[in-house]
């Protein structure tokens, strides 16, 4: 099995790059929003069995239960701060480790670069972007003022920094955590995905041709 982790600064294109890599390599894509969507499905009136056995469902479903999904959903929806919920950390670590053992996957976020640090057949990527570009992208996406965009950007990145610091005792932007750091000012999402695939294929034995 091989796993590529993607960590992204806010508005640096993490989801587009990660899904692009997964599509190109034929890997599972695993991200917070995917699990949040599964959580919503599990809260519908249809039975859990029907949801889990739905044709074409992601393989991630085999690692989830209603409890895991509810924990993730609360954090993604900001109903419960992740720094205040050790259970979130425990369940997401369990999820990441199970995926590593059983799937070829691209994992976006989750602290996966730390959970799988120095594990064989892994490749860790950090996406960065100039502050001004992130502010402009946030203003455009959220249709907000510069002040609100600045506050949102600061809040999102401080939260990520605090989470990684608390549970892994490292700086999430430490270059030593990553095999590849991409300045997204110079790359489109597709070009970045192509670069990740190229570099990962050089390092991960199962991907080498």
Q: Of the ranges 13-27, 32-46, 64-78, 109-123, which one carries the lowest mean pLDDT score?
A: 32-46
What is the pLDDT at residue 45? 36
- The torsion angles phi and psi of 119, rounded to 5 degrees, stand at -75, 145
Q: Binning pLDDT at 50, 70 and 90, where does residue 16 land?
A: very high
Q: Of the ranges 83-87, 97-101, 133-137, which one carries the lowest mean pLDDT score?
A: 83-87
Query: Distance between CA 109 and CA 5 in Å, rounded?
Result: 7
Q: Residue 161, Cβ neighbours under 10 Å: how many?
A: 13
Span 151-179, pLDDT tens digits: 888 888 888 888 888 889 999 989 999 99
pLDDT, mean over the chain: 79
Query: Distance between CA 118 and CA 92 in Å, rounded?
Result: 18
Is a pLDDT exceeding 60 seen at residue 80?
A: no
What is the pLDDT at residue 49? 37
The tokens describing 90, both together, are 């425990």
Query: Distance between CA 146 and CA 25 in Å, rounded?
Result: 38
Name the burial class of residue 115, with classes exposed (0-12), middle (13-18) and buried (19+) by CB atoms within 10 angstroms of its CB. Answer: buried
Span 103-147, pLDDT tens digits: 889 999 888 999 999 899 999 999 998 888 888 888 888 888 888
CATH 3.40.50.300 fits 3-200, yes or no: yes
pTM value? 0.79
Cβ proximity of 131 and 112 under 8 Å: no
What is the pLDDT at residue 53? 38
């Amino acid at each position: 099995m091989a796993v590529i982790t993607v960590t992204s600064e806010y508005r640096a294109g993490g989801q587009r790059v990660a899904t692009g890599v997964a599509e190109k390599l034929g890997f599972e894509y695993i991200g917070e929003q995917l699990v949040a969507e599964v959580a919503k499905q599990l809260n519908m009136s249809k039975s859990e069995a029907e949801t889990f056995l739905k044709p074409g469902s992601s393989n991630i479903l085999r690692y989830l239960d209603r409890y895991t999904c509810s924990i993730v959903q609360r954090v993604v929806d900001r109903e419960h701060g992740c720094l205040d919920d050790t259970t979130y950390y425990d369940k997401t670590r369990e999820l990441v480790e199970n995926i590593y053992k059983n799937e070829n996957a691209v994992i976006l976020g989750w602290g996966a670069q730390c959970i799988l640090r120095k594990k064989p057949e892994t490749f860790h990527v950090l996406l960065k972007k100039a502050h001004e570009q992130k502010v402009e992208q946030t203003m455009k996406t959220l249709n907000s003022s510069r002040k609100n965009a600045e506050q949102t950007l600061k809040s999102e990145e401080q939260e990520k920094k605090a989470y990684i610091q608390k549970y892994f005792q490292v700086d999430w932007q430490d270059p030593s955590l990553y095999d590849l750091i991409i300045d997204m000012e110079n790359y489109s999402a597709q070009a970045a995905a192509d670069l990740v695939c190229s570099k990962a294929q050089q390092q991960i034995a199962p991907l080498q041709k």
